[in-house]
Structure 1
Amino acid sequence: MNQHSSTGHNLTHKAERVDMAAAFRWTARLNMHEAVANHFSLAVSDDGKDFLINPNQRHFSLIKASDLLLLNADDPAALDRPDAPDPTAWGLHGSIHRHVPHARCVMHVHSIFSTVLASLADSRLPPIDQNTATFFNRVVIDEGYGGLAFEDEGTRCAAMLQNPRHKVMVMGNHGVLVLGSSVADAFNRLYYFERSAETYIRALQTGQKLRLLSDEVAEGVANAMDHYDGQADRFFDDIKTLLDKSEPDFRS
């Protein structure tokens, strides 16, 4: 059976599917999702072109492991299949998995504070605390929003993610996109970026002068966090443990 067919897509990559389903469920718990929009994808082949992604217009809190679509970034008929993905999901995530092989897991949301940051004329995230410093020199800002992320827009965004150092894209006038080496790595980064954006936006709301870390200290923090092994996996393992207690159907 063709693993990319609509009848066989839910039979492969079980562990990866479970991790993805957990990420969708917990993102909904944190209210970082948006209606039945937003998408996460995970490469499951060595070249990164075979990837799992959420089905079209399904609420994050309902997604199960077996619901995920298995697509190939080079498949010209991806949008013609009976269970075709959302066209913007295909345009953005398909383009990234086609052109950015180091982007193993891709998470895109319109979470509130990251989107507020993306709406500012200056969308930089200054290092004002330990969390914000984690992202020092590791964020690329897209200032060329051209509308819904169909194929051309997705290709344009993918071209901005070629530097492996850039793990976060602040999508101006749109939202945020994070890359990771695994579901746990990407989700941890998404979680901390949203927290960092919230800290910054709330600090701006005080109207007081910000206390900025030096470039040297900020880079030191970012580098240390780049090599702080184990935290993302432990965080995500605990998320799955909590979901097993309250909504174990995510694994099915």
Structure 2
Amino acid sequence: MLKLKLEALEHPAPGSVDVNDRKVFASTILWLEDQKIRQYKIEDREDLRKVDELEIWEQAYENYKYDLSMPQFVTPLEEITWLLGYAIRLEFLDAPESYKDINSIEVSKQQNKSIAPSIKAENFFDNMDFNHKDFIAGVRALATKLKIPQHPNHLILLEAVARVVHERLSPSAKNRQAITGTPFPFEKGNDVVSDDSALDYPVRILRLLQIQSLRELQTKINETIVAVQDLIANPKTDTKLGKVGR
């Protein structure tokens, strides 16, 4: 707390004030009087300046405490704490309007701001405006090149582009054998998916997409089962631990 008060008063060395060192203590009292309290006129501070002559300074300090109406304290720490609080109060009374905007909420905000880490975005996409007209035009041009139907929402269209790129142009897709043959005419099935003829076709498409998602899920489940079997079906034993007989 002593250091914080000294910092608030802009002491040149708040961390090095040792109140148990009488000369340092005397120098700090003199600094407070010269810079902050100013109880005496400059010419009346002569004895307080004699920090190298402690007998003279001690008598001047006793008079100084009396003139300030300082309460009786036992330790130097209590005395300097009171003097610091007194100096801070004088600082406030000199210009109260400059402190009117300082409160616990603002101080907390400043502390949190100083503690919060400064993160610089290194990803190019973090600074991109996804609603810029050039970006939207680029998404639609890419969709046209990939023969993807246009959608009113360019972000949904971008998701479709990403899926097509993943399914057809990713490294794993390049080694995949192309599907040949005649596509199944799902729109000509005998089953009735929807009573509304306008909805029947899109509902059939959604059903096929759901089947595809289930197949992908089943593939991942099978891969997980195989991986677990590889771990438990090949136990390693240490024959050195084996015993023969009793």
Q: TM-score, normalised by structure 2?
A: 0.27
More RCO (CA 8 Å, sep 6+): 1
**Structure with max Cα Rg:** 2
User: Which structure: greater strand fraction?
Assistant: 1
Q: TM-score, normalised by structure 1?
A: 0.26
User: Which structure: greater helix fraction?
Assistant: 2
